[in-house]
Amino acid sequence: MKKIIIAGALLVSLSAFAGQPQPLKHISFETYKDKVAGGWAGKMIGVEYGAAFEFVHDNELFDGEVPWDKAKVKEALANDDLYAQMSFMMVIDSLGLICPASEVAASLANARFELCHANRMARRNYWRGIMPPLSGNPKYNMHADDIDFQIESDFAGFINPGMPQTAERLCNRLGHIMNYGDGVYGGMFVAAMHTQAFFGSNVETVIRQALKSIPAKSQYAQCVREILAGYKQHPDDWRKTWKAFTDKWGETDICVPNHPFNEDAKFNGAYVVLALLYGNGDMEKTMEIAVRCGQDTDCNAATAAGVLGVMKGYAALDSESKKYIEEVADKDFIYTNYTFHKAIDRCFQYAKENVQKNGGRLESDAFLIREQQPTALYPLEQSFPNIRYSYETVVTQPADWSFKGDWKDFVIGRGDNSVFKNSVTPGDECTLTFTGKAILLEGYCHNNGGMAKVYLDGKYIKTIDFYYREEAGIYLGNRAHLYHELNLTPGKHTLRLVTVGDKNPKSTGNNVWVERAMIYK
């Protein structure tokens, strides 16, 4: 009986405790601004530290010298890792934090800057009337798992200190403009690391907490866990962890499977985690490891340095880098009306709004934040669960391709010497016979592009518009995606293009360009 009474008293005690609000997290305005400044500065420093090595070393380690002229940080004013997400913030400045994704998509579609990969496909989709979230869906975007949103999501964490769920909701809305599945989870994970970094001083803890914000069964989460396991097994040898991971995951890029160039978010995100863990809180060591891992080095070094920048704060960064940042701190990042100082201030204003909306409050000089537990709020998405790369076929392979009409060879040049087939005559035909479950047709688009009808196994599917306001498709790793189909019956199929006389009203010509197809099994 005595045990029952004690147990009952304990239950009442626990119930009373559970019903009470948890203590609010305190962070002074001064500390918050210092940490956000550190985050933006880290992005600027990291992106320029890694810029010279971007896609120089693909699926191979780099062990040479990493020269670093800290004055180059000033060049970050012209880097897309910064100005792209600041352009998102400019839309929020006009329409508020709950602005629809379609408005941000419109801004991205009509922005003056050039886009690549998932962002470029989102722009093309917007012009075709495909709005988010479909614009990032693999049905319309083969770049769904690419790195784009991962490098544009930092601000979502900056404006949500200690509030990963609110950051995750913002990322879910904006990330589907250009990505899906692991591509969106990359942005959620990075933003979540920033939300944790405001109050965390241990890198591994920040990573493990942020990991809870994405579905545990996602491949992105699996990649992060494998790096964490490698770190536990080889805490003093990052190269062993790098090799084991790269050997297993080095061919995950569904868009460029025929090339070591890898834009996959989870693959590059794993390198970010590796650099953070083995960098052990040292900014330059962390960036150096990110560069030595290879692939998208400027983005990965920037993401890792941004997380450390929030953890450490601007005041703790090296004085020489800060000297050069201060020289440009009131100059606009290109294509934006944002400066370094304005970015800090706008984050501060949005943080005040988010803190109050989510159960916290403001004191005269501090935030009192209702801390949120990181959790995956959305069901699992998988972009390409049922296909794997099989082979590629190029237009110079007559066994697979046949052409009727006035097709001519076309070479872009300027370092891209691949042969395309080009037609400007209505009624010309291009036929490809292939064996597989899915196909991605690649080529080129420009402001003098025309149109062609697509037939699959004799059935009309759609009309491709080859118009794009600027050159799109130069270099093998960045070809224009013309058409894809993911759910064919496995077996032999025939794809036929027929050029037509119609063209986009904005186009100055009727050019159609085809270069290769990727076949999946």
CB proximity list for 135: less than 8 A, separation 6 or greater: 105, 121, 122, 125, 126, 141, 176, 177, 178
Q: How confident is the model at residue 421 (pLDDT cuts 50, 70, 90)?
A: very high
- Cβ atoms of 314 and 38 within 8 Å: the answer is yes
Average pLDDT of the chain, as a whole number: 94
Exposure pattern of 419-431 as b/e (b: 16+ CB <10 Å)?
ebbbbeebebbbe
- Work out the percent of the chain whose per-residue pLDDT is above 90: 92
Side chain identity, residue 379:
P
pLDDT tens by residue, 8-34: 443 333 333 344 556 899 999 999 999
pLDDT tens by residue, 158-192: 999 999 999 999 999 999 999 999 999 999 999 99
Query: What confidence score (pLDDT) does residue 22 get?
Result: 67
Instruction: Determine the Cα angle at 458 with ends 399 and 420, to 5°.
Output: 40
- Compute, in degrees rounded to 10, the torsion defined by CA atoms 321, 326, 328, 329: 120
Structural domain 25-369, CATH architecture: Orthogonal Bundle (1.10)
The alpha carbon of 297 is separated from its chain's Cα centroid by a whole number of angstroms, namely: 13
The structure tokens listed for 363 are 């004191």
Residues of the chain with CATH 1.10.4080.10: 25-369
- Cβ atoms of 81 and 48 within 8 Å: the answer is no
CATH T-level fold of 389-520: Jelly Rolls (2.60.120)
Query: What confidence score (pLDDT) does residue 334 get?
Result: 98
Residues of the chain with CATH 2.60.120.260: 389-520
- HEC-encoded secondary structure of 228-256: HHHHHHCCCCHHHHHHHHHHHHCCCCCCC
- Cβ atoms of 209 and 196 within 8 Å: the answer is yes
